[in-house]
Amino acid sequence: MCGFAGYYSLFNSFSNNELESVGGSIASRGPDYQGVYSDERVGLVHRRLKIIDLSDDANQPMLSDDGRYVMVYNGEVYNYDDIRREQQIPVKTSSDTEIVFKTLISDGIDAVETYNGMFAIAFYDTKEKKMLLIRDRMGVKPLYYFWDGTNFAFASEIKALLEFHFIKKNKSINYTALNEFLHLGYTGIEGTIYTNIYKVPAGSYIEVSENGINIQSYWSTYNCIQPETIDDFYSAKEILRDLVEQSVRYRLKSDVPYGTFLSGGIDSSLVTAVAQKNLSTRLNTFTIAFAENKYDESQYARQVAEYLGTNHTEMTVTQKDALNLIPSILDTFDEPFADSSAIPTMLVSKLAKTQATMILSGDGGDELFMGYGAYRWAERLQKQSIKLLHKPLSFFLRQGNSWSKRGGNVLNYTNSENIPSHIFSQEQCLFSRKEISSILNPDLVRDIHLNEHPKVARTLSAAENQALFDMNYYLREDLLPKVDRSSMKYSLEVRVPLLDYTIVEFALNLNEKLKVHGDTQKYLLRQVLYDYVPSNLFVRPKWGFSIPLEKWLQTDLSFLIDDYLNDNLIRKTGIFNQKEVRKLVRKFKSGRNGYLYNRIWQIILIQKFISDKFNK
């Protein structure tokens, strides 16, 4: 696990002298070593966090013996030993980096088809003057780039790009991404909050040359969907169990201490159980609990840990511990990011780092095996009776309490083509498209274009389509960045076994009835888990990993409303409709509209971002 940055320049917009400070900006991603490479066209800087092969021979940038090729790389390719044996590759190190490097030299971009892992790669051919930027299939590892039609730079995090003087002095706000943030809580799947700074799409690569850039996809969830589904329970269970076992075994390869995040839920418990089964020593597991949180699940994690016999570490954190991290959210994520569960994710990462450098997490299970309530909403909204009566039902429900209002907001849709994003937005208590048009100043409103009904090889149910939307948007652009930034803040690598692409491809073609069976969500995944851990440990509601943000904005964090949503600053930043913000704050402070807390939080983040980054 590492971080890197660099540039490809025809016009000397970027300086080699800047590479040291660029690397320093992402030092937490790789505190063990910094390496730099440059020639007349390209500059590369790499920060290394040593996980596999701790020797200096595996440091980067890695150069070929003849000096023609150079590579920087972030992530892990777990099947590197298999590739080495199958292709009989002679090696000087025991690192996966060398295998990735040599296969790219021999096979070019086709080599990526053989990789099973999470990775972001920059590979440069000094003779042809061509560079490849490659991102893993699911987009577990981040990779950003700057492109204004002439100048090109790239990095593992936006903050590194902003260390380049040319980019920093020319930065501006991307208002399409701002609209996406208000609707989804993150900035879409391509752009960022900054004009001309983009995300390399998951499962894609960019070829950079003197002729410009060319973006190509090599893998897509949409293309993985087959005409027929896997229907037989017994064979499906056997396949899934084998895939999870293989995935976890791959991800236990490490030359540093490791463990798992254990919440006590289905996904993290399965990953932990399989990991412990494959070890002869006690696995380290980590959980945090909030002393003031009524939804504390630490007792369930403790029960699972006791059953499996792990070396369990549990820390109870206070409200103050969490509040102290609030100011660092923008610095950690580099742009507005509304998911407040980043705070507990940072806290559990900080805890884990005291004993480990690599962690396995259970991310992905909900999207792959339908673990969210949103999928029930998707089915409801397809019923003819709901289609006919959704407006009066919405009006009626919005007269009730906060939970009732939330359901009423889901029913208050205007365009059936946008239902997947609407359901997600309102389930998360974010702004609807209509509300964005009111809350923003009119000249900043932009259309939001999302792929909500993709063309695939079979007809998907409403629930399946909603899950596919979550997989390609929420998982990739919220959950995975949340874990990556929160963990790398403390130089901790996190691996995600359930997002092995073989499991993703399997889940995409699993019959929906094996995902939701009656009232049981994630049915097949549960059945696999119950082969390792007794089912009675999981008979309880699903709460999720959260902080009581609504309560805090009414109490300890109320000063943020006063500081950032006051009339003077609203006028100064020029983003929001002052009258509408005042109305929103009044409704929230009344105490009868608690569901508005995430909207308040979003505006605070944008106001703080503009004030810190543009109005200093």
Cα–Cα distances in angstroms (integers) from residue 279 to residues 241, 248, 254, 282, 283, in the given order: 17, 11, 13, 7, 7
Count of Cβ atoms closer than 10 Å to residue 534 Cβ: 11
For the segment 554-573, the average pLDDT, to the nearest whole number, is: 95
Q: Which two tokens stand for residue 66?
A: 């003849």
Q: Are residues 117 and 175 in the same domain?
A: yes
Instruction: Enter the DSSP assignment of 477.
Output: I
Question: Which residue in the block uniquely carries the two structure tokens 């090696």?
Answer: 91
Contacts of 206 by beta carbon, 8 Å cutoff, 6+ apart:
132, 133, 145, 200, 213, 214, 215, 216
pLDDT digits (tens, 9 = 90+) for 437-458: 999 999 999 999 999 999 999 9
Predicted confidence (pLDDT) at residue 543 exceeds the cutoff of 90: no
CATH number at residue 106: 3.60.20.10
Residue 517: CATH number of its domain: 3.40.50.620
Expressed as residue numbers, the domain containing 251 is: 223-370+465-538
Residues 282, 174 share a domain: no
Q: Is residue 388 part of a domain?
A: no
Say if 447 falls within a structural domain: no
Tokens of 463: 């629930």
Domain end marker among 195, 219, 243: 219
* Residues 131 and 241 occupy one common structural domain: no
Region for 505 from its dihedrals, namely left if φ exceeds 0, alpha if ψ lies in -120 to 50, beta otherwise: alpha
pLDDT of residue 544: 63
Examine the domain organization and report whether 47 and 185 are in the same domain.
yes
Whether the predicted pLDDT of 12 surpasses 90: no
Question: Residues 66, 100: one domain?
Answer: yes
Alpha-carbon gap, residue 525 to 20, rounded angstroms: 46
Given a cut of 90, whether residue 542 has pLDDT beyond it is no
Going by the DSSP 8-state scheme, the letter that residue 111 receives in this structure is: G
Residue 147 bridge partners (DSSP) = 152
* Residue 457: inside a domain: no
**Is pLDDT above 90 for 577?**
yes
Q: Predicted confidence band at 294 (pLDDT cuts at 50, 70, 90)?
A: low
Domain count, the chain: 3
Kindly state the average pLDDT of the residues 525-554: 87
Q: What pLDDT, in 10s, does the model give residues 363-418?
A: 999 999 999 999 999 999 999 888 888 888 888 888 878 778 888 888 888 888 89
| Close Cβ partners of 61 (under 8 Å, ≥ 6 residues apart) | 35, 36, 37, 44, 46, 70, 71, 72
Whether residues 85 and 190 fall in one domain: yes
Mean pLDDT of 261-284: 97
Catalytic residues: 2
- Token digits of residue 577: 């409709």
Whether 481 and 614 map to the same domain: the answer is: no
Q: Are residues 194 and 238 in the same domain?
A: no
pLDDT reading at 217 higher than 80:
yes
Task: Write down the pLDDT at residue 292.
Answer: 66
Supply the mean pLDDT for the chain. 94
User: How much is the pTM?
Assistant: 0.96
User: 247 and 355 share a domain?
Assistant: yes
Kindly state the tokens that stand for 569. 């600053």
pLDDT band at residue 594 using 50, 70 and 90 as cut-offs: confident
In this structure, is residue 439 part of a structural domain? no
263 backbone dihedrals φ, ψ, rounded to 5°: -90, -20
Whether residue 193 sits in one domain with residue 292? no
Same domain, 143 and 190: yes
pLDDT tens across 184-198, in order? 999 988 999 999 999
Q: Among 14-23, 461-470, 489-498, name the one with the lowest average pLDDT.
A: 14-23
Q: Does the pLDDT at position 541 exceed 80?
A: no
How does pLDDT run across 149-204, given as a tens digit for each residue? 999 999 999 999 999 999 999 999 999 999 999 999 999 889 999 999 999 999 99
The predicted structure's pLDDT at residue 545: 67
Q: Are 289 and 322 in contact (CB under 8 A)?
A: no
Predicted confidence at residue 154, as pLDDT, reads: 98
Which amino acid is residue 574, in one-letter code?
A: G
pLDDT at 243: 98
Give the model's confidence band at 298: pLDDT under 50 very low, under 70 low, under 90 confident, else very high: confident
Res 257: pLDDT = 96
In a domain, 159, yes or no: yes
Give the pLDDT confidence score for residue 581 in this predicted structure: 97
Final residue of a domain: which of 538, 572, 603? 538
The residue among 538, 572, 597 that closes a domain is 538
Question: Where does the pLDDT of residue 602 fall: very low under 50, low under 70, confident under 90, or very high at 90 and above?
Answer: very high
- Kindly state whether residue 389 falls inside one of the protein's structural domains: no
- Mean pLDDT score, 76-103: 97
Question: What's residue 404's pLDDT?
Answer: 86
- Say yes or no: 209 and 252 in one domain: no
pLDDT in tens, 273-289: 999 999 999 999 999 98
Q: What is the pLDDT of residue 548?
A: 84
Assess if residue 431 is contained within a domain: no
* 318 inside domain: yes
